[in-house]
Amino acid sequence: MSQLSVEQLWELRNTLLENAKRLADDAELLLANARWPAAFESAYFAREETAKSANMFATAYIVAEDPAQLNWPEFWNMWKDHKKKSAIFVMMSRLYERLFESTASDAAASKDVDSNAEKHEAYELRMEREAALYVHWDGGTRTPWDSISEGRAREMVTEARKIVDAEVASTDAHRANIDAAGKKDKSS
C-alpha cells in the first residue's frame, strides 16, 4: 500500500473539499430547478467528500506527528468503503450540531449519543441515496421521485452546504495544526 506525505495528504484534502463545494453548488442548482432526487444525491456526495476531506486533515496531522502511527492499509480501506464514509459524515454532522447549534444542556446530553444510532442513521442515508438514484420494486414500482420529497432534498442540500462551508472555514486552522504537529515531532 502506498504511503502519502503530509503535502500529498493536504493536496488531497483540498481537492476533495473543492469537489465537495462543486457538488453542493450542483445540488443547489438542481434544487432550484425542482430536481429533488438529483439534488439529494449531489448533496449526499458533497457531504461524503467533505467527510473524506476532514479525514485527510486528520491523517495529515498523524503523519506530521509520527508517520509510524498510521495504519496505511486501514486508511486505504476507508478510502473505498462507502459504509465508513457515510458513518464519518453522520459523525461530522453530529459534531457540528454539538459545537455550533446546541445549547450547553443539549451538548452535555448529546455526549451520550449511541454510536449504533449513528451507524443506523448512516445506513438509512445510504438506502435513501440508493432510492434517490434507482427505480425499485417493493410490491410496486418506486421511482426516485416517489422516494425523495422536496422537503427532504432541501434538508440534505442545507446540511451539505453547512458542513462544506464549515470545513472550508477551518482550512487555515487545520493547516496550522498540521504544521504544529510536524514541529512538535522535530523538537522531541
Q: Is the pLDDT of residue 185 over 90?
A: no
- Would you list the domain boundaries of the chain? 6-187
Q: What is the pLDDT of residues 148-181, one digit of tens each?
A: 999 999 999 999 999 999 999 999 999 999 999 9
Three-state secondary-structure class, residue 141:
strand
Pairwise CA distance, residues 86 & 78, whole Å:
11
Of 48, 34, 13, residue with least CA distance to 128: 48
Give percent of the chain with pLDDT exceeding 90. 57
Pairwise CA distance, residues 157 & 46, whole Å:
9
36-64 average pLDDT score: 93
Of 21-25, 30-34, 55-59, 99-103, the poorest mean pLDDT is in 99-103
Of 14-18, 27-31, 177-181, the poorest mean pLDDT is in 177-181
134-144 average pLDDT score: 92
Pairwise CA distance, residues 145 & 131, whole Å:
9
- pLDDT at residue 117 in the model: 77
Residue 119 makes CB contacts below 8 A (sequence gap 6+) with 87
Pairwise CA distance, residues 165 & 151, whole Å:
21
Q: How many C-beta atoms lie closer than 10 Å to residue 87's C-beta?
A: 21
Instruction: Retrieve residue 85's grid coordinates.
Output: 464514509
Q: Is the pLDDT of residue 186 over 90?
A: no
Q: What is the pLDDT of residues 78-137, one digit of tens each?
A: 888 877 777 777 777 777 676 666 555 555 555 555 667 777 888 888 889 899 999 999
**Which pLDDT band holds residue 188 (cuts at 50, 70, 90)?**
low
